[in-house]
Amino acid sequence: MKTIVLTAAVAFAFGFAARAQSEDIKFGVKAGIQFTDFDSDGADSDGKTGFYVGGLVDIPISANFHIQPELLYSDEGSDGAKIDYLRIPIMAKYYLMQGLSVQAGPQVAFKVATENDFIDNSTKSIDFGIGAGVAYELSMGVFFDARYNLGLANIGDEGVGDVHNVVLMLGAGYRF
For residues 92 and 30, give the distance between their C-alpha atoms in angstroms, rounded to a whole number. 17
pLDDT for the residue 13? 52
Beta strands in the chain (DSSP E): 26-40, 48-60, 65-78, 81-97, 100-114, 126-137, 142-151, 163-175
Q: How far is CA 94 from the centre of its chain?
A: 17
Domain boundaries, the chain: 2-175
Which residues partner with 70 through β-bridges? 56
More confident residue, 98 or 11: 98
Say what percent of the chain tops pLDDT 90.
76
Place 127 in a pLDDT band, splitting at 50, 70 and 90: very high
Q: Which amino acid is at 118?
A: F
Say what percent of the chain tops pLDDT 70.
86
CATH class of the domain at 2-175: mainly beta
- ∠ CA(34), CA(39), CA(42), 5° rounding? 140
Which among 81, 79, 71 is positioned nearest to 156, based on CA atoms? 81
Q: Which amino acid is at 120?
A: D
pLDDT for the residue 8? 54
Do residues 123 and 156 lie in contact, with contact meaning Cβ atoms separated by under 8 Å? yes
Place 158 in a pLDDT band, splitting at 50, 70 and 90: confident
Place 154 in a pLDDT band, splitting at 50, 70 and 90: very high
Do residues 127 and 150 lie in contact, with contact meaning Cβ atoms separated by under 8 Å? no
Place 17 in a pLDDT band, splitting at 50, 70 and 90: very low
Place 76 in a pLDDT band, splitting at 50, 70 and 90: very high
Task: Select the highest-mean-pLDDT range: 5-14, 25-34, 40-49, 150-159.
Answer: 25-34
pLDDT for the residue 114? 96
pLDDT above 60: residue 10 = no
Q: What is the pTM of this model?
A: 0.85
pLDDT for the residue 20? 45
